[in-house]
Amino acid sequence: MKKNFLKIIHILWFWGVENPIKSVFLFLTSSLLVNAFLQLYFEKSNPNSNILSIWDALWWGIVTVLTVGYGDKYPVTGFGRMAAVLLMLSGVIGIALITARISSFFLEESLNKRRGVLDSEKVKNHFIICGWKEEMEPLLLDILTSNTELKDKDIVLINNASIEQMDELRGNLRLKSINHQHGDFYLENNLKKVIPHKAQKILILADESLNSKGERPTLTEADARTIMTAMTLNNIARGVLVAAEILDPAMDQYLYLAHVSEVIYSRKYSQLMLAKAASRTGLTSIFHELLDPEGHARLITEPIPKALVGQTMKDLKNWYFKNNPDHFVIGLLLNSGNTVIAKEKALREAEKTPNIKELVEKLKEVKNMKFNHPIFAPVQNTPLHEDHLAIVIVVDHKAQDLGAFV
């Protein structure tokens, strides 16, 4: 009997220790039970007592702890009243602990959100952005406008932005639920906090965060951070799509070694736009219209419909003409997606070839594969594969300014 009692106490103790709320519940329950037995012991022999059974004692204990106080049951002996005082103190302490725990829970939730602490069990298919830009707010708004399925709560920023900067960012209603992890984004420990292996896509920016001296990183420093981040992600988040901004095009080889899916040459693009403006009329307007999220003609990529895999470019154009007349196919993006997954898939397909000579040729093709490689105006009989994406211009004819034709 004694062993069973001690076993029950042992189970209840560890059940309560693992959770503060359970601990308070166990404390109040124990106080009620102990006090009930004490009240019955002290009161039952007194002829004026109204606590005559264990149920009377428990009822009195419950209404006392909950500060209801019906008054139908109460102790009349001195020892009973002393025990009642102890129960009242226990009730006050227990209720105070529960209230404090509830307040602490909501406060912790609020602080964790500001600090960028993510729940690894809940977070998945999120969009991680590494680094900081001076024009961060308009960049994020353009990202949301360009990706209608993406919500602010799905975006996770990792950078050294201050709490004040993040509060200012969240002041925009479209960005109020954005997540933030503070710290150097190129460090592995910080990257792991944003659960990159569960992300839908990761964007690495050419960082413009100011250091402790208020200085912006040099071009070389910004590119070094981008490359370090890409290499780290290649180890801890293989298979996740990664796009990275590079300032010096000569450094892109390191990004490709880290299997970055898309390299963004932001400074080079600006130079090319200026050069095109100097040599050809109207090209900058065309590019702006196609890239502007608010434009009436948008340049996008779309997966090849499953029913058309194995068919030709001609069939794809006919399908769009019939099903999406506002979509105009101008090309194909070959070997799309994550380079690691695409190469592994190509190797598996090549290994199925029984002929050694053909196998060697296919392995050479895999080695020389160009990922996310665009081909414009492919011939009509070009075969379609499941890893192809259609390069499409979507035109909003109703919103387009037709006054230019008058």
Crossing angle of helices 54-65 and 20-43, rounded to 10°: 130
Q: Residue 2 above 50 pLDDT?
A: no
- pLDDT the model gives residue 24: 67
Q: Residue 10 above 80 pLDDT?
A: no
Range in 262-266, 313-317, 334-338 the model is least confident about: 334-338
Convert the pLDDT of each residue in 156-173 to its tens digit: 999 999 888 888 999 999
- The confidence band for 275, taking pLDDT boundaries of 50, 70 and 90, is confident
Convert the pLDDT of each residue in 124-141 to its tens digit: 889 999 999 999 999 999
- The mean pLDDT of the chain is 81
- Fold that domain 120-279 belongs to in CATH: Rossmann fold (3.40.50)
Element (H, E) at 40: helix 20-43
Written as six digits, the tokens of 278 are 């100097």
- pLDDT the model gives residue 233: 94
Higher pLDDT pick, 205 / 163: 205
Domain boundaries, the chain: 2-115, 120-279
Q: How far is CA 234 from CA 104, 193, 238, 338, 371, in A?
A: 38, 16, 5, 11, 16
Mean pLDDT, residues 105-116 = 60
Residue 268 carries which side chain, given as an amino acid letter?
K
Element (H, E) at 157: strand 155-159
CA-to-CA distance for 351 and 346, rounded, in angstroms? 9
- pLDDT the model gives residue 386: 86
Range in 65-79, 197-211, 283-297, 317-331 the model is least confident about: 65-79
Identify the CATH number of the domain defined by range 2-115.
1.10.287.70
Same fold yes or no, 2-115 and 120-279: no
- pLDDT the model gives residue 30: 74
Mean pLDDT, residues 196-202 = 93
Mean pLDDT, residues 258-287 = 86
Convert the pLDDT of each residue in 16-68 to its tens digit: 445 556 666 776 777 777 777 777 777 777 777 777 788 877 787 777 777 66
Q: Residue 316 above 70 pLDDT?
A: yes
Element (H, E) at 391: strand 389-395
- pLDDT the model gives residue 114: 56
